[in-house]
Structure 1
Amino acid sequence: MEIRRATTAAELVAAEHLYDGPARREWAERFLATDGHLMLVAYAADGFPAGFVSGIEMVHPDKGVEMCLYELAVDEGHRRRGVGRALTAALVAEARARGCRGAWVPVDTDNDAALATYRSAGAADEGVFAMLGWTFDEG
């Protein structure tokens, strides 16, 4: 397995089987053009995109720069082989290299696989939290 930073929209679109829905080229291009956005892709020996992790740098006056692990996914046929842990560790290493003060990830408290992955990559529990959101029409 090789983990590489995605630098082209074509790479992001090629990994769309790992996303919740189909990739849009214009969104992929915007993602790559936005400062602080990062996607790492894990490739199997045959070049198949086996997993990805995306991160977004966030800046706040009292916290400095932190990396939010936005999403992690591993192809079903490549799960339970350490791909998720390796991707998470690679994102955390990149956050350190960029000078981030820390990294964090929102995760559902009943998502045992995700919790195990993040803990195995060195994350510590920081308490229970609820996530609320707003959904807007695409327009």
Structure 2
Amino acid sequence: MSDPVTYHHLGPADMSLLLRVPEGVFDNPIDPIQAAAFLGDPRHEMVLALVNGSPVGMGSAVIMLHPDKPPAGFINEVGVLESHRRQGIASALCAALFTRLRGRGCHGIWLATEHDNIAARALYMHLKGRETTEIVVYDWDGAMDAEAGSGSGTGKTTS
């Protein structure tokens, strides 16, 4: 029997916990300056999955505001250590983010992933997401390049 997974919503006081996330959960090493900015911004949301107090997965999101629309939630990234995949952790992380975003007034939640990211697409279909085909993504300054660090918002996932 495996150890139970708990979920913790991060706030500004959780920097030490965030810095304990092992390699393989995020796309790149955590940058403490960016981590502090993320945790300090009230529009950013992050949930960690913990086993015996140690991080094994995370989900992050941002609340997007616009003058003529209600708030929308964007799921930045979901990542789970390879050793803990296919146990429902990614689904639970997404569900926790959905609840948090809806509770904060978001009237829509969305994300994007690569067409060939079969694991992510299976997860989002399992969560009853509607796959759209009408959107085209453009980027500038390498925003979608994984090595640039900002391509992580394309749904690196795994269940």
Q: Secondary structure at the match of 2:138?
A: coil
Partner of 1:23: 30
Q: What's 1:80 paired with?
A: 86
Return 5+ residue gaps in structure 2 as ranges. 143-147, 149-159
Give CA deviations for 1:57-96 in whole Å, capped at 9, x if unaligned. 0012332101100011010000011111111111111111
1:115/1:31 CA distance change after superposition, 3 Å = same
Q: How far is the alpha carbon of 1:113 from its aligned partner? A: 0.5
Unmatched 5+ stretches in structure 1: none
Q: Which amino acid aligns with 2:83?
A: G
Listed as ranges, the matches of 1:1-139 within 5 Å are: 1-7=5-11, 8-17=14-23, 18-44=25-51, 46-135=52-141
Contact 2:91 2:127 in 1 (8 A): yes
Q: Is the 8 A contact 2:22 2:55 kept in 1?
A: no
Query: What is the alpha-carbon distance in structure 2 between the residues aligned to residue 121 and residue 89 of structure 1?
Result: 8
Is contact 2:19-2:30 (8 Å) kept? yes
The Cα RMSD (Å) is: 1.7
Q: AA paired with 1:57?
A: I
Percentage identity across paired residues of the two chains: 32
Return the alpha-carbon distance in structure 2 between the equivalents of residues 12 and 133 of structure 1: 28
- Structure 2 Cα separation of the partners of residues 116 and 128 of structure 1: 19
The SS at the match of 2:141 is: coil
Conserved 8 A contact 2:57-2:79: yes
| Amino acid in the other structure paired with 2:132 | E
Q: Is 1:16–1:23's contact at 8 Å kept on the other side of the alignment?
A: no
